[in-house]
Amino acid sequence: MTSYHASDTVDEHLARLPIGIILKALNIFTAKFPELRILQASAFIKEYQTARSKESKALLATILAITRKQCSIVTGDWLRSLKSSECYASYAWSTLSDAILQPPKVQVVQALLILTLYEWGVREYHKAWMHCGIAIRIMQSLHSSRVSPHPLDMSQNNDTDVMAIAVEARTYWACFIMDCTINSGTYNPRMLPMSEMHKLKVPRPLNYTDFAFGFDGASLDHICTGDLSGLAQSFETIATGFDIYAQAMSFVFNNGRCAPGMCAPENCPWVPGSAWSQCRDRLEEWRKSQHERLCYPQHSVVVHMTLGHGESFIYLNMLYYLSTIMLHREYFPFLPTADLTPRGPVDPPLLEAEAPPGWWDESARELFNAAEQIASLLQEASECGIPLMTPFSGFCAFTACFLNLYVFRFPRMNLNRSSKAEQLMNWGLEYLEEFQNAWELAGGWVRPIPPIYESNADGTDQNDSELITLVQESNRRRRALPWKIKS
């Protein structure tokens, strides 16, 4: 926590910050973090055109903290007038720590969610988990004060403005997304499963246009039966995607095929109704529910960039391909030999049934194709001028880069179908080099990869053992918090 004097200095800085700088930061945050697209521009700016409350200044501080982390991809003289990310984050928590036990306010929830994402990116994992939990509890209190027939505190929430209700609904779904993100691959149970969101009758988030411009209040509870898979509805689609990703990570983290009975014939991945099959079916149904224009590589980043939705398009596709990787990687051999072709696990426990002909070949194709598409997505985004440098995109990049290295060294594991593996791996390395300058999360991700690649480029095999060691370590780590990789 900052000293009183330092906190007071930041407070004065935020009180005087020109509205033009606030608008620039809002634009960057809204564009670059699709998973937290929770700020309604008109309502947000109104807060800063009058006397700025302590809650609004805490929210602004978290936005500036995360905006400063984008300096490698954002330029402008206005950045010189900002303080450090650490300074803003420290101020935000010192303010929020006094606000969390006060009557609930949506600005406090929003600030905590953004602070959670920031802390995840700087490797403050426990703080991120705690602050996400606090945000969820405050949001539950806000929601219950609206829907409970006998609220305990009538003064808590008497705001009936339809836009305020819409902002709260969207913020509640952001709590759901961050809960999926922070708790995936940990021993911590999720606080907000999808079943709970439906049980609590949390309104669906408005589409992008209605949320930005306002809408007829009667439409808030209207259930539209039309196509909701377009870019305007991308926030809701992203929320569902994170739920599926969390399900895939839960399967892996709960020991996947190593869990008791999971190698039995009825639980093999190709068997309809198995845990793996159920998750993959849900993933494919989610993909098919989206408009075909949202599918990469059938449609390019540049097209969606011109429409102003490039980042959302990238996120939807990264969610699909990362979930695909997590599912197929669970059964893939992690100790290959040079002549090994696609097959099931070679280390115990082994599956107790034979796969249908061609199943492993197709599994390898999907696994390495997913890694290829993630690398290509991020490269195309950079070429289009909309590079993504978020904690989630960084984890996607690392996962894809490792697999592209793997198939570059062992091309027969994908039947020599990964002809671009070296180029894709180099794209991934370039991205991660830049990413680690922005976020501490990447510490230890890049270091092991170049020596292994360089030995292969020289035509030597001296580092094959190093790759095997890296593969074994990755196999161990994939059952731990996926972003907790130490240098």
* Pair 250, 331 in one domain: yes
Domain boundary (218, 246, 275) is at 218
* Pair 258, 380 in one domain: yes
Residue 487 belongs to some domain of the structure: no
* Pair 178, 294 in one domain: no
* Pair 160, 21 in one domain: yes
- pLDDT at residue number 124: 94
Residue 446 belongs to some domain of the structure: yes
- pLDDT at residue number 233: 84
- pLDDT at residue number 76: 86
Q: What is the mean pLDDT of each run of 10 residues along the chain (487 residues)?
A: 62 94 95 96 88 93 96 86 96 96 95 98 94 96 81 60 91 98 80 93 90 64 45 90 96 92 98 98 98 96 92 97 97 84 93 98 98 98 94 96 93 96 96 93 75 55 56 52 45
What is the count of structural domains for the chain? 2
Domain boundary (183, 218, 253) is at 218
Residue 37 belongs to some domain of the structure: yes
* Pair 313, 406 in one domain: yes
Domain that holds residue 45: 4-218
Residue 482 belongs to some domain of the structure: no
SS (H, E, C) the chain: CCCHHHHHHHHHHHHHCCHHHHHHHHHHHHHHCHHHCCCCHHHHHHHHHCCCCHHHHHHHHHHHHHHHCCCCCCCCHHHHHCCCHHHHHHHHHHHHHHHCCCCCCHHHHHHHHHHHHHHHHCCCHHHHHHHHHHHHHHHHHHHHHHHCCCCCCCCCCCCCCHHHHHHHHHHHHHHHHHHHHHHCCCCCCCCCCHHHHHHCCCCCCCCHHHHHHCCCHHHCCCCCCCCCCCHHHHHHHHHHHHHHHHHHHHHHHCCHHHCCCCCCHHHCCCCCCCHHHHHHHHHHHHHHHCCHHHCCCCCCHHHHHHCCCHHHHHHHHHHHHHHHHHHHHCCCCCCCCCCCCCCCCCCCCCCCCCCCCCHHHHHHHHHHHHHHHHHHHHHHHHHHCCCCCCHHHHHHHHHHHHHHHHHHHCHHHHCCCCCCHHHHHHHHHHHHHHHHHHCHHHCCCCCCHHHHHHHHHCCCCCCHHHHHHHHHHHHHHCCCCCCCCCC
* Pair 165, 290 in one domain: no
Residue 224 belongs to some domain of the structure: no
Residue 239 belongs to some domain of the structure: yes
- pLDDT at residue number 144: 86
* Pair 158, 294 in one domain: no
Structure tokens given for 259? 């869990």
* Pair 235, 212 in one domain: no
Single out the residue of 178, 62, 60, 71 nearest to residue 130, CA to CA: 178
CA distance 319 to 322: 5
Single out the residue of 53, 55, 121, 142 nearest to residue 94, CA to CA: 55
Residue 441 belongs to some domain of the structure: yes
Domain boundary (218, 244, 272) is at 218
> Is 173:233 a contact under the CB 8 Å cutoff?
no
* Pair 205, 318 in one domain: no
Residue 122 belongs to some domain of the structure: yes
* Pair 241, 99 in one domain: no
* Pair 204, 109 in one domain: yes
Single out the residue of 129, 111, 108 nearest to residue 120, CA to CA: 129
* Pair 151, 289 in one domain: no
CA distance 132 to 129: 5
Length of the chain: 487
Q: What is the pTM of this model?
A: 0.90
